[in-house]
Structures are given as structure tokens and as C-alpha cells.
């Protein structure tokens, strides 16, 4: 059997720490040049020549948001119960966001605070905030807590541990097992690798007696529970030390979907309840702006009333408030 190579359908990618547009290398097949590329899509994942997965995560976010917008065209998620809305997201959107995360997840920010700034979690938070019908500036931890949802990094870490257990169960002669063992050797040599990133993740979450060579389903389930507990502690600490969430903290004391979300079918009433709980700071700013607008309107109606002069008012009223007049 003879395999015929087609140069026009063949590409070459050179892995290096920094991407270089001008590479002094040429590849040919039957005297025909082969294109050198910086990125290549393999099995749905964009691979970069620098080993960075940023472009891959951007593509996953784009696909997930496209699926979410298509879903919202046919279904008003806000009218559904929190349980059903969460179930639909986990079945249709979450698999897109976490696709192949057992590989790229080991190279992302594992700490809970930094994770919120990733493209994947931003898409997750967009679902939470669209369901609650709050602004994008609403608190991330509060919106997740209202729906009883954990950050996607917890599910990703579970996939990483399951995949590592699978790799170690393969025969020693298999390529994937050899690559994983090479990653382990790099870790022991003090180099950064896939294996070392998993160890760093276990240290961040304080996994007791963590050993990749003896991972079982029971242990993985136990470690997932520990990550959830760590996040709940992080959530409680954030609420207790945030003036913006001080009002919310008086109502929310357990990490489950808030029962009031299913008490009324009228979205307008539920929206007001959500704003009352997690939008207090935003409402206070609106009321302050409204008072400023009324003051300016009174001034324009009678600019010489009261002791302050018109010039004094116009110099001291904040410029953003003038837009409302």
C-alpha cells in the first residue's frame, strides 16, 4: 500500500517558546513547498506552536456562546426553574466549554480568584447573569451562589484526574503512556510539565496523600468534594469582606439554589427580588444619580433660588449627571 502525500493539504508547525514569523526552514514534498503555520486544529482543539492554549479557549468560548444564543432563541431560560436551567446548561453548553479540558486544563490558572478572568468561566458567568437578568458588573460569586453553581474549574480538575488515571492504566508500550511518563521525569528533574501542573493543583487544594499512581474513583470523588469545600470557604470569605455583598450576606447562608427563584412565574417580580439581594450597590448608585438629576432640574427651573449661584452648581455637579438633563 502506497500513501500519496499531497503538499497542498499538508502543513508543518515548528514548536518553539516564541512565535517567529520568519523561520529559516523549508520543507518540501516531491520538490513542492509545504506551508509552515503557527496554529493547527487537531481533533477540534487549536494547537499553537508556542504550546499556549489561549487561542483554543477563545474558540471554545465562541462556540459555546453561539450555542447559548441559539438556545435562547428557542427557549427563554429565565422562565425555567433553576434546576432545569442548570441541567440544560450542563448538558448542552458545559461540554463545549470543557472540551479536551483534561489536557489544556492543566495549563490554566487553577487558583479560584484568577480563574474568573478566563474565557471559559466568563462564558459560564454570562449564563448565570443572563438567567438572573442582572448586569455584567454584578458580583460573580453572588450570581453563582444564587444558582448553586460551582466554577467550571472544579469539573475540569475532575476530568484531569480521571484522564491521568486512564493514562497510567495503559500498557507501558503505548505512546500516550510513554509521553505521560516523560512528563513525570521532567517534573522530577525540576522542569515544568503536565505532571508538575497536576501536582501544583493538588497542593493548591490541599489534597491529602495525593499520588497520581494510586488514583481511584473513590479518591477522585473525595478530592472533588474537597475542592467544592474550598470554594465554599472562598465564597464565604469573599462575602464577609465585601461591602458590596454585605446585604446579600444577611440572606444567603447555604450554597444551594435560592428557593425564591422558583416562587414566582412573573419575571418582573423575580428580577426585583434579585436586584434587592445582589444589586443593592447598583441600585444605590442609580438613586444617587436620580437625586442629582432632580437637583439640576430644579436649578434650571429657578437658577437663582437658594444661596448657591448657578455657576457654583454647574462647577460642582458631576459631569456624568449632566447627561440625564
Tell whether 177 and 296 lie within a shared domain.
no
pLDDT beyond 70 at 3: no
Tell whether 89 and 176 lie within a shared domain.
yes
Whether 283 is in a domain gets the answer no
Tell whether 27 and 158 lie within a shared domain.
no
Whether 29 is in a domain gets the answer yes
User: pTM of the predicted model, to two decimals?
Assistant: 0.79
- pLDDT confidence tier of residue 314, bands split at 50, 70 and 90: very low
Instruction: Tell me the range of 105-109, 199-203, 287-291 where mean pLDDT is highest.
Output: 199-203
Whether 2 is in a domain gets the answer no
Question: Which of these ranges, 10-14, 221-225, 238-242, has the smallest mean pLDDT?
Answer: 10-14
Q: What is the mean pLDDT of residues 115-141?
A: 91
Tell whether 103 and 154 lie within a shared domain.
yes
Tell whether 86 and 222 lie within a shared domain.
yes
Q: What's the distance, CA 322 to chain centroid?
A: 37
Whether 138 is in a domain gets the answer yes
Instruction: Work out the percent of the chain whose per-residue pLDDT is above 90.
Output: 42
- pLDDT confidence tier of residue 322, bands split at 50, 70 and 90: very low
Whether 188 is in a domain gets the answer yes
Tell whether 109 and 204 lie within a shared domain.
yes
Q: How many CB atoms lie within 10 A of CB 276?
A: 14
Tell whether 227 and 258 lie within a shared domain.
yes
**Domain around 314:** 292-322
Q: What is the mean pLDDT of residues 16-35?
A: 76
Tell whether 12 and 116 lie within a shared domain.
no
Q: What is the mean pLDDT of residues 20-47?
A: 80
Instruction: Tell me the range of 80-84, 230-234, 299-303 where mean pLDDT is highest.
Output: 230-234
Q: What is the mean pLDDT of residues 32-60?
A: 85
Tell whether 76 and 38 lie within a shared domain.
no
Q: What is the mean pLDDT of residues 54-81?
A: 89
12 beta partners: 36
Task: Kindly provide the residue ranges of all beta strands, DSSP E only, lying in the chain, ordered along the sequence.
Answer: 11-12, 28-29, 32-33, 35-36, 39-42, 45-48
pLDDT beyond 60 at 305: no
Q: Which residue has the higher pLDDT, 298 or 227?
A: 227
10 Å CB burial of residue 157 (0-12, 13-18, 19+) is buried
Tell whether 21 and 161 lie within a shared domain.
no
pLDDT of residue 311: 46
Listed residue (203, 114, 197) closest to 153, CA to CA: 114
Segment 153-191, tens digit of pLDDT: 999 999 999 999 999 999 988 999 999 999 999 999 999
Phi first, then psi, for residue 286 (nearest 5°) are -65, -45
Tell whether 233 and 125 lie within a shared domain.
yes
Q: How many domains in the chain? A: 3
Tell whether 272 and 178 lie within a shared domain.
yes
Segment 247-301, tens digit of pLDDT: 888 888 889 998 888 776 777 777 888 887 886 555 555 555 556 556 656 655 6
Residue partners of 104: CB distance under 8 A and separation at least 6: 45, 53, 56, 57
Amino acid at each position: 500500500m502506497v500513501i500519496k502525500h499531497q503538499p497542498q493539504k499538508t502543513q508543518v508547525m515548528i514548536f518553539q517558546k516564541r512565535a517567529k514569523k520568519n523561520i529559516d526552514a523549508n520543507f518540501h514534498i516531491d520538490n513542492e513547498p509545504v506551508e509552515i503555520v503557527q496554529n493547527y486544529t487537531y481533533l477540534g482543539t487549536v494547537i499553537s506552536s508556542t504550546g499556549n492554549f489561549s487561542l483554543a479557549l477563545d474558540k471554545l468560548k465562541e462556540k459555546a456562546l453561539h450555542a447559548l444564543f441559539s438556545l435562547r432563541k428557542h427557549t427563554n431560560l429565565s422562565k425555567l426553574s433553576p434546576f432545569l436551567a442548570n441541567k440544560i446548561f450542563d448538558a448542552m453548553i458545559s461540554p463545549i466549554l470543557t472540551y479536551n479540558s483534561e489536557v489544556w486544563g492543566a495549563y490554566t490558572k487553577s487558583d479560584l480568584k484568577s480563574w474568573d478572568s478566563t474565557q471559559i468561566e466568563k462564558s459560564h458567568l454570562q449564563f448565570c447573569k443572563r438567567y438572573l437578568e442582572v448586569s455584567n458588573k454584578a458580583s460573580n460569586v453572588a450570581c453563582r451562589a444564587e444558582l448553586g453553581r460551582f466554577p467550571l474549574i472544579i469539573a475540569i480538575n475532575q476530568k484531569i484526574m480521571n484522564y491521568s488515571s486512564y493514562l497510567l492504566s495503559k500498557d507501558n508500550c503505548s505512546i500516550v503512556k510513554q509521553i505521560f511518563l516523560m512528563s513525570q521525569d521532567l517534573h522530577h528533574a525540576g522542569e515544568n510539565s503536565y505532571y508538575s501542573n497536576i501536582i501544583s493543583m493538588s497542593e493548591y487544594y490541599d489534597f491529602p496523600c495525593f499520588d497520581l499512581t494510586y488514583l481511584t474513583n473513590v479518591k477522585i470523588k473525595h478530592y472533588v468534594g474537597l475542592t467544592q469545600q474550598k470554594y465554599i470557604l472562598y465564597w464565604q470569605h469573599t462575602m464577609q469582606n465585601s461591602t458590596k455583598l454585605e446585604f446579600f450576606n444577611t440572606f444567603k447562608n447555604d450554597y444551594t439554589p435560592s428557593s425564591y427563584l422558583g416562587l414566582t412565574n412573573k419575571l418582573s417580580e423575580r428580577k426585583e427580588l434579585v436586584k434587592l439581594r445582589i444589586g443593592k450597590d447598583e441600585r444605590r448608585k442609580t438613586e444617587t444619580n436620580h437625586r442629582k438629576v432632580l437637583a439640576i432640574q430644579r436649578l434650571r427651573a429657578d437658577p437663582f433660588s437658594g444661596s448657591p449661584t448657578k455657576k457654583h452648581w454647574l462647577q460642582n455637579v458631576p459631569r456624568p449627571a449632566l447627561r440625564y438633563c
